[in-house]
Structure formats: C-alpha cells, structure tokens
Amino acid sequence: MPESPSNSMHAKRVIITGGNSGIGFEAAVALARLGADVTIACRNLQRAEAARTAIVERSASDRVDVMQLDLADFASIRSFAAVASERFDRIDVLLNNAGLVSRSRALTTDGFELTFGTNHLGPFLLTSLLLDQIIATPGSRVVNVASDAHKFVGKGIPFDDLQHEQKYSAFIVYGRSKLANILFTRELARRLDGT
C-alpha cells in the first residue's frame, strides 16, 4: 500500500546511531524505503559503509549516508554534532539506538564506565547538542531505544557509585543504563511539552 502524504517520511532527515546492525539497521532500511534521508552514525566507518550498501540495496533508496560517531568519546560526539548541524538544515528524527554491554568494567575515552557512558551519557550529550535544531524542525522527534533490562536493576541507579567501581555486573550495569535512558526520555518529554 502506498504511503499517504500525512505519514510519509519523504525528504525527512533521520539520524540513527548504531545504524549498521540490529534494530538500527532495520530501522534505517524501513525509513529509507519510506523516502527519508537517513544518516547512520557509527564508530566503525568500514562497517558503516558495508551497512549503507546493504541498506541501499534492501530499501531501493540511495538517500543513505554515513558519518562517524563514537558515543564513548565526547570529542567525537561534539565533532559529529557540529558537522551535522552545519550539513543538515533540519533534523526530523534523532534515533538514539547504539548501545553495548561490556562484560568487564572498562572506561570511555573521558573516563566514565563504558556501558553507562556509551548507552546513556553519549546519547544524552548528542541529544543536547542537536536539540535546538531538532526543536526548530516542525514535527520532529527524539527516539531513545531502551530495554526491559531496566526492570532488573532493583534499587535503581546508584548515584554514589555511577562508575561501578564497588561492584560490577555487566547485566546490572546495562539495565541501569537503560533505566537512565527511560528517565532521560521522560524528563525530556516533560521539558519539551508543547514544542
């Protein structure tokens, strides 16, 4: 069934973090198929280019491009946001999809625990840096991918040990990062009510 003009994504700018695999990849295929201008933002440009080729083939749309973005590196996020803000005159959808689970405790480039830093702090900073442009685009959306893993964190986010130095459990840390995504989404929606 053809897409109706009221819900068409034709010529809408969509940025998808982690669009080279999984949910992000499938979202990129579907949105490109609907006519969106899709940017997949990925850490590894070689994998991103391979994904771009597959997305173009599956969607029958060449309106897909690739930009480098490492959500575990604030300098990369700032650079991406600066280039995106200059390159794109609108951002209709920011799909914060990229994420990871680190089996053992590791740190981001900026010294934050890797899972929490990549899954929450990175998307939080990216959204904050692009927010004025997103708000300026009529009908725009921020979509944050979460997980049912947030249900297994019990006592919530340990603000006295955000770095998870006292105790590290990969699944619990992942769940906390997903809970942070949900809390961020709710607060962002509250703050942007009416925009």
DSSP 166-186: S---HHHHHHHHHHHHHHHHH
Q: With contact defined as beta carbons under 8 Å apart, do 187 and 148 qualify? A: no
The tens place of each residue's pLDDT in the chain, 195 residues long, gives 344 444 589 999 999 999 999 999 999 999 999 999 999 999 999 999 999 999 999 999 999 999 999 999 999 999 999 999 999 999 999 999 998 888 999 999 999 999 999 999 999 999 999 999 999 999 999 999 998 777 787 777 878 877 778 888 888 899 999 999 999 999 999 999 988
The answer to whether 110 and 30 are in contact (CB under 8 A) is no
DSSP state of 107: B
CA distance 39 to 83: 12
* Torsion region of 16: left, alpha or beta (phi above 0 gives left; psi -120 to 50 gives alpha): beta
- What's the whole-model pTM score? 0.92
Q: Which amino acid is at 88?
A: F
Catalytic site residue from 80, 116, 174, 184 = 174
d(CA 97, CA 18): 6
The Cβ of residue 112 has, within 10 Å, a number of other Cβ atoms equal to 18
Contact between 72 and 122 (Cβ < 8 Å): yes
Burial 113-148 (b: 16+ CB within 10 A, else e): bbbbbbbbbbbbbbbebbbebbeebeebebebbbbe
Backbone angles phi, psi at 49, to 5 degrees: -65, -40
- Sign of the torsion angle spanned by Cα atoms 8, 26, 153, 184: negative
Specify whether 168 is catalytic. no
Handedness of CA 73, 76, 77, 78 (dihedral sign): positive
Question: 169's torsion region: left (phi>0), alpha (psi -120 to 50) or beta?
Answer: beta
